[in-house]
Structure 1
């Protein structure tokens, strides 16, 4: 009888683990599923319609241009070039994406989260100060590191993180993300630049500041570097 209960418990744990795994991008059940914008003759899979596999070609799996630096002359001094399912259709259902990050001297990729992906970042040129903050239950601990050329850092899924160029020259990094469409929420933009704006009374109480501070912040232009 004890063996029977152990078997049932083991199966339950395995079923629960399978359920948790399915909370992320699902494993594909076919070689590929090229995303299709035109729904005619398409098959709906994981948020996208899929092209008939017989009509797929090499260009569906190709993206060009990451060798080119992006303009960083903006308020935050950085620019992110994302390669996800929206501009590389062959990524659909494959659970990965990529980004190039360009930084001017003192440029910042502001605190943000990717709700659907873990990010792994490698520095190609320059020096970056990077970090992430743990969730409330873990005490909102801050983990930081200064990265140089060739260094790698990982940002766990959903956690607030940032990158700052601390050198006097441009910096470049590449990031891999564990979702075909990781999403991005830039904290300041979302909180103070939402449309319509969040009721100032909410923000005044949340941040424990004078309502004039909230009013000032809500009137700023919150730049989107993605």
Structure 2
């Protein structure tokens, strides 16, 4: 019985590792470099002797994003592709600018939990649970409010205020990815078969044809 606590500890560590999405780093840092000849599950590391302080600096949040699009919003990413110093660290960020009525359309992030803080304006935010609960949680956020979106669940943010809005999101992966639902369903090339969409959404083929013919905006 004296070995039971150790066994439980090993089990807990194994469970934690099994549910980890970004692997724990094995060194102080691994600044990402691209090698177009090789594909791996992640990024190669820059020679540590060539790393500088600039590798750990990102200036992309200094200026507002261009919201002159149909969605009236702009997501500025600070993922590993834009910020190589994040590689293997399991974190990233995004700046989201909203014009009046701006919407960040429902995405599902395949590899991250997100926590959002409102810096300016008023946002209606929410997320949709899986089929097990089949529920929607929404809240109106004001400046300084924080809201968390559980991992992989579809969510959205809408500017319902009378001024532009600004929010920052912290993400639990250095390469979280994003699948925007409208684009993924109706903008694919080649498209999803109309018969599949007809039955899935229970609409006439003409409706599917109409939706697939629309210009689905990407605010990333």
TM over 0.5: yes
CA distance in 2, matches of 1:8, 1:116: 31
1:136 pairs with 2:127: no
> Which SS does the other structure have where 2:105 is aligned?
strand
> TM (normalized to structure 2)?
0.93
Q: Tell me the CA shift for residue 47 of structure 1.
A: 1.3
CA gap of 1:8–1:178, structure 2 versus 1, over 3 A, is closer
Match of 1:34 in 2: 31
1:10 pairs with 2:5: no
CA distance in 2, matches of 1:200, 1:78: 30
CA gap of 1:141–1:7, structure 2 versus 1, over 3 A, is same
> TM (normalized to structure 1)?
0.90
CA distance in 1, matches of 2:4, 2:51: 48
Structure 1: segments with no counterpart, 5+ residues: none
Q: What's the Cα RMSD here?
A: 2.2
Q: Tell me the CA shift for residue 6 of structure 1.
A: 5.6
Contact 2:23/2:88 (8 A) holds in 1: yes
What are the within-5 Å matches in structure 2 for residues 109-124 of structure 1? 109-124=104-119
1:169 pairs with 2:148: no
Q: Deviations over 1:156-207 (max 9, x none)?
A: 1100000000012100000100000110000010001111000000000000
> Which SS does the other structure have where 2:174 is aligned?
coil
After the TM superposition, list the runs of 4 or more consecutive aligned residues in structure 1 that deviate by more than 4 angstroms: 4-9
CA gap of 1:153–1:82, structure 2 versus 1, over 3 A, is same
CA gap of 1:101–1:199, structure 2 versus 1, over 3 A, is same
Structure 2: segments with no counterpart, 5+ residues: none
CA distance in 1, matches of 2:28, 2:3: 39
